[in-house]
Amino acid sequence: MENNKTKTKDYHKDIQIGGMTCINCANRVERGLKRIDGVKFASVNLATETAFIISDREISAQEIREAVKWAGYSVLEGDREDLSQIRYKKSRERLILAWIITAPLSILMVLHMLGYHIAGFVLIEIISVAFLAFYCGLATIKSAWIAFRHFHSNMDTLITIGTVTSWLTAVLNYLGLPIISFGTIGGMIITIHLTGRFIESNLRDKAAKEIKALIALQAKEATVILNGEEIKVPIEMLKQDQLIKVKPGERIPVDGMVIEGLSAVDESFISGEPIPKTKERDDEVIGGSVNLSGPLIVKALKIGEESFLSQMITLIKEAQGAKVPIQALADNITNIFVPIIITLATLSALFWFFNLNNYQPFLLRAKEIFPWILITGNKYSFAVFVFISTVVIACPCALGLATPMALVVGSGIAAKKGLIIRNAEAIQISKDVGYVLMDKTGTITEGKPAVIEHNLPEEELNIIASIESNSHHPLAQAIASKVTEKIKIDEVKEIPGEGVEATYKGAKYFIGRPEKSEEYTVYQRKGQTVVEVWKEKNKIGYIVLADKIRTDSKSAIINLKKLNIIPIMVTGDNDITAHAVAKEMGIEEVYAGVKPEEKLAIVRKYQATGKKVLMIGDGINDAASLKGADIGVAMGKGADLALDSADIVIVKEGISGLIHSITISINIFKIIKQNLFWAFLYNVMAIPMAMLGLLHPAISEGAMIFSSITVTLNSLRLRKLD
């Protein structure tokens, strides 16, 4: 039974960040947020351009703005959809304008290269590319300048260096210096970059559509009944215990209880079941579900951040910003990547400046394979050509997106299947799970036991039921339902794994585990549970409870075995009952009569074999073992969603979600590894080619954008799990 503990309240905030372009930007914003006093956790997600913080006090908007400004970026305020639309419209307009200028400019460049010299072409380049860089690509230039001012670098640093260097060659050529103009190439670099960012942004929005769909489930307003009148109010204005009228076709705005009415309610976003559930007086309803048939009067029980849907969205956003251990490698590389690339590009330029004549034969032979190679005797021009190609090809954009894109898509798919992966490390561990330890009550069974037999006088049963009403344990709640008259109980004390003690009118009661379980073998063989009732150290009776096995439990256990994972039952119930249920489920290893503290020892025993251990429980008595296991999975609903001990929370009923969590985690990690492999391979192959003068800057930029889009598209392959 549950052991109540005082817990310090955590404050959660979700923030939209403007101006980030690569993982270095995200890491700097994250460091800025962590500097705020009271912040316990901060995570910035490049893929969704959001930040998520957990603090032990309420953090003001001003503090957050200052911390983000310190990092060199800005907090975006307003409706997220509106901001997205404004950004989309603005970026599309600038992209169209960029291509209107770049397309004819590129044609003129080709004609110029073929010998059709256009009078004043270099001046056209200077003016056109200046407009492209400092108007159409202003956000990129700003981002690079912000990074420079704050003594760090990002993807836009390389793009800006490549674009501005190309533009400066046109300026120097116009001034009469002996250097070939690459001005048009600078325009092509910024335009291709804007094109790639536009496509990438749309793909990111597509990747995050599941979380957007959840947010869309939140009602904007509610009809409140005040003094007999119906008044429409914004959802933010609702208060606890208010009466709300929900008409057919409307979304239920809050978690609450039906006070009046009868209707069918669509809760498919929680249960995944398309069949509506009938709701009548005293039934609980969840905000975000849809009232289908009749009007309902609902009493608000949980509002705002306390509601089930808000908790679910918050936890998913937290999960999307988390980091898989393998990501540390990519982060460490990208943190030093830009300075290294600028150094390599400079060294390459110097090499070709002093050795161009010696390696002209190599370039002539290479041009037969790569026709875009620049053949010139001008060492200044070729050195600049190599420098621009190298800085452009090396942008670590794909590396920065490799992990967050997979997490965004994967966690969204998991959410649709009723799973919240709270700890990203679980994704990397899932592939190595060898044992699954599972509780019985509330995990294999429904956790909704009912009293089917007892031998207590009605008066004593009412006392016992009143005592048990102080506990949230499923068995206690089943007994509490037998209350016929509310009475005041004194000195209630729960003993985890044993039962509950209380005093009523000076008499001490104990309800819990039988002293001699063999006396109840006839019930236990049927998989039923028995609790004994003691008064003043004298046994006065017993209560028999039955808990239905979940319909999906057996198939889930079969599927675990197919994954070469051994299922093990670890329960506080007696040996006979435990084995009866285990036999029906096909579970061969059983630990019965186990106390909560003993479950952790069993977890350690299997960890000692060298294999990873996953523990799944109902989150009441299993906190220690959930935390101690390599992966802790909680069967959560409502308030249980926020369970701190769990790495993964199964929102929907049934342990089949466990199979989904393992398969989704394995596939997310597989995609992350593929993304990182291709991102690393791309840079390892492309950078030396650019340094050797074998790549054209425009091709370099196109290849860089292609690598980022490839990573995003590969992440979207996770949707096949949907």
> What gap in Å lies between CA 147 and CA 189, rounded to an integer?
20
478 token code pair = 């089943």
> What gap in Å lies between CA 667 and CA 661, rounded to an integer?
10
For residues 555 and 438, membership in a common domain is answered with yes
Residue 266 covered by a domain = no
For residues 518 and 502, membership in a common domain is answered with yes
Residue 599 covered by a domain = yes
Query: Is the Cβ–Cβ distance between 52 and 15 less than 8 Å?
Result: yes
Residue 581 covered by a domain = yes
382 token code pair = 């070729």
229 token code pair = 């009148």
For residues 458 and 501, membership in a common domain is answered with yes
Query: Is the Cβ–Cβ distance between 592 and 578 less than 8 Å?
Result: yes
Q: Residue 634 sits in a domain of what CATH number?
A: 3.40.50.1000
For residues 483 and 608, membership in a common domain is answered with no
For residues 560 and 520, membership in a common domain is answered with no
Cβ neighbours for 596, distance < 8 A, ≥ 6 positions apart = 496, 497, 572, 621, 622, 623, 624, 625
Q: Positive or negative CA dihedral for 329, 334, 335, 340?
A: positive
Residue 390 covered by a domain = no
For residues 603 and 478, membership in a common domain is answered with no
Query: Domain of 636?
Result: 423-444+549-646
pLDDT along the chain (722 residues), means of 10: 49 83 81 90 79 87 90 78 72 91 89 78 93 91 84 79 90 89 87 78 62 69 85 83 89 89 80 72 86 89 78 67 66 74 92 93 91 87 90 71 78 78 82 90 80 91 90 82 86 82 91 87 85 92 88 90 92 84 91 83 91 80 78 67 68 79 88 85 84 82 76 84 69
Query: Is the Cβ–Cβ distance between 636 and 650 less than 8 Å?
Result: yes
- What is the 8-class DSSP label of residue 682? H
- What is the 8-class DSSP label of residue 218? S
Residue 418 covered by a domain = no
pLDDT score recorded for residue 3: 41
- At 9 the three-state DSSP class reads coil
Angle at 316 between CA 400 and CA 626, to 5 degrees: 105
Kindly report the pTM of this predicted structure.
0.66
Residue 227's Cβ-side half-sphere holds a number of Cα atoms within 13 Å equal to: 0
Query: Is the Cβ–Cβ distance between 245 and 269 less than 8 Å?
Result: no
Q: Report the DSSP pairing between strands 263-266 and 277-279.
A: antiparallel
Bridge partner list, 508:
503
Q: What is the 3-state secondary structure (H, E, C) of 240-289?
A: CCCEEEECCCCECCCEEEEEECCEEEECHHHHCCCCCEEECCCCEECCCC
Catalytic residue list: 439
For residues 464 and 437, membership in a common domain is answered with no
> What gap in Å lies between CA 67 and CA 30, rounded to an integer?
9
pLDDT score recorded for residue 722: 65
Q: Which of 513, 546, 579 is the last residue of a domain?
A: 546
Listed in order, strand segments (DSSP E) in 284-333 are 284-285, 290-291, 296-302
Cβ neighbours for 101, distance < 8 A, ≥ 6 positions apart = 128, 131, 132, 136, 187, 191
pLDDT score recorded for residue 1: 37
- At 7 the three-state DSSP class reads coil
Residue 378 covered by a domain = no
For residues 567 and 623, membership in a common domain is answered with yes
Q: Positive or negative CA dihedral for 127, 128, 130, 131?
A: positive
Listed in order, strand segments (DSSP E) in 582-669 are 589-591, 612-617, 631-635, 648-650
Residue 609 covered by a domain = yes
Query: Is the Cβ–Cβ distance between 528 and 548 less than 8 Å?
Result: no
pLDDT score recorded for residue 547: 82
> What gap in Å lies between CA 116 and CA 547, rounded to an integer?
87
Neighbours of 385 (CB within 10 A): 26
Closest by CA position to 652, among listed 371, 462, 418, 475 = 418
CA-to-CA dists, residue 167 to 30, 119, 136, 164, 628, angstroms: 34, 18, 15, 5, 59
Q: Report the DSSP pairing between strands 631-635 and 612-617.
A: parallel
For residues 476 and 601, membership in a common domain is answered with no
Query: Is the Cβ–Cβ distance between 140 and 190 less than 8 Å?
Result: yes
- What is the 8-class DSSP label of residue 118? P
Total tally of structural domains belonging to the chain: 2
For residues 573 and 524, membership in a common domain is answered with no
> What gap in Å lies between CA 25 and CA 270, rounded to an integer?
36
Bridge partner list, 543:
454, 531
For residues 455 and 438, membership in a common domain is answered with no
Cβ neighbours for 543, distance < 8 A, ≥ 6 positions apart = 451, 453, 454, 456, 464, 479, 511, 530, 531, 533
380 token code pair = 């200044």
Q: Residue 487 sits in a domain of what CATH number?
A: 3.40.1110.10
For residues 437 and 567, membership in a common domain is answered with yes
CA-to-CA dists, residue 354 to 178, 351, 380, angstroms: 16, 6, 10
Q: Which of 485, 511, 546 is the last residue of a domain?
A: 546
Edge-to-edge strand list for the sheet holding 433-438: 419-421, 648-650, 631-635, 612-617, 433-438, 566-570, 589-591
Query: Is the Cβ–Cβ distance between 652 and 418 less than 8 Å?
Result: yes
Residue 438 covered by a domain = yes
- What is the 8-class DSSP label of residue 722? -
Q: Which of 513, 531, 546 is the last residue of a domain?
A: 546
If you write DSSP's letter for every residue of 485-553 in order, what string do you get? S----EEEEEETTTEEEEEETTEEEEEES-S-GGGGHHHHTTT-EEEEEEETTEEEEEEEEE-PBPTTH
